[in-house]
Amino acid sequence: MATTSKVRKHKGISFNPFSPLPKPAPINSTLSPSFSPFRNSDVLHPQATREPRRRTYPVARALFAKEQPPLRLKRVVQEDGRSRMPLQPVPIELVPTPPSESEQLVVALAGPILELWTKCVFLHQLIPKVRAVVSSISFIADTLKKRGSEVTRVVDGQCQTTVSDVAERLQGFVDETEQKFDEAISHYKCHTSGLDEEQFAALKRLRTGFDKYQMVTSTLLESLEKIEVQLGRARKEFDKEMGQTQTTHRTQRAQLKSQIDKLCADYRRRVGSTIKVCSSFIYRRLFITLAHGLAHLIVGNRASKRLQGRYARAV
């Protein structure tokens, strides 16, 4: 079975995969002056606008003889009451034969080859445009270089003029400030030269007096520190003695209180015995008043002596 003699038809288009490829068309005939490869997406992607190719298989055509009478078939009645024609077997001549491996390979490679060819044609047509763009870019670069050189020359001239002006102004300012500084220095020298020996002697005396004052203040500070140390020691000793005196006073007060309690109890016992002895009311009253007076005198004398002793110890 020869595959070179067969021509496949797809949707009314005859295509022979083994025929030579067509020559590319000239650039001016296919592309317009306003053509841009970045706008025309159909040329870059031809499969985007083309419909998908439907895979078809060759069907063997069978010729029926004219003398063969048509078959008369009885209609078949279905369960719902409708009738239909009986199913007929398909003739062997009408059964499609599967394609061979070479045909399948040709059909599979036809699309990619066509797409590659269209891209090659597009690139061939795009080369002059690219060359024109490159030439325009080189021309723009040359003009930019010329303009840059002119701008740098102008800017250098302006910078030199401005630098010279600034240098002149700064030189004038420096000269003026230097003159003022020299005048101030000369005035200060004249003022300092007018000081006589008496002023220098007075300054020296002031210096010596200040030194003496510093020495006196240092000695006074040292003596004050010593006095503070002595006062701290005396305070500690005084606090210690006060604690001892407070303890002794507490013990003495306790002893005196116990003695007074004993004397009062003895006195009351004696007074009670004397009251029992005295029968008359007058004698009893006088005796009681005398007893109370004596008790107050005794207690007052002892309390006054105790207070005098405390005062003497504190002093």
Angstrom distance (rounded) from CA 132 to CA 35: 13
Condensed to tens digits (0 to 9), the pLDDT of residues 69-115 reads 555 555 555 566 666 665 555 565 565 566 677 777 777 787 888 88
Report the alpha-carbon angle 77-82-83, nearest 5. Answer: 45
Angstrom distance (rounded) from CA 170 to CA 176: 10
Report the candidate in 97, 100, 94, 90 with the shortest Cα–Cα distance to residue 61.
94
Q: How far is CA 265 from the centre of its chain?
A: 93
User: 146 pLDDT band (50/70/90 cuts)?
Assistant: confident
pTM surpassing 0.85? no
pLDDT of residue 185: 82
Task: Name the phi and psi angles at 286, rounded to 5.
Answer: -60, -45
Condensed to tens digits (0 to 9), the pLDDT of residues 272-288 reads 777 676 555 666 567 66
pLDDT of residue 45: 45
Report the candidate in 131, 125, 130, 134 with the shortest Cα–Cα distance to residue 44.
125
Percent of the chain with pLDDT over 70: 54
Q: What is the mean pLDDT of residues 151-165?
A: 84
Condensed to tens digits (0 to 9), the pLDDT of residues 165-175 reads 888 888 888 88
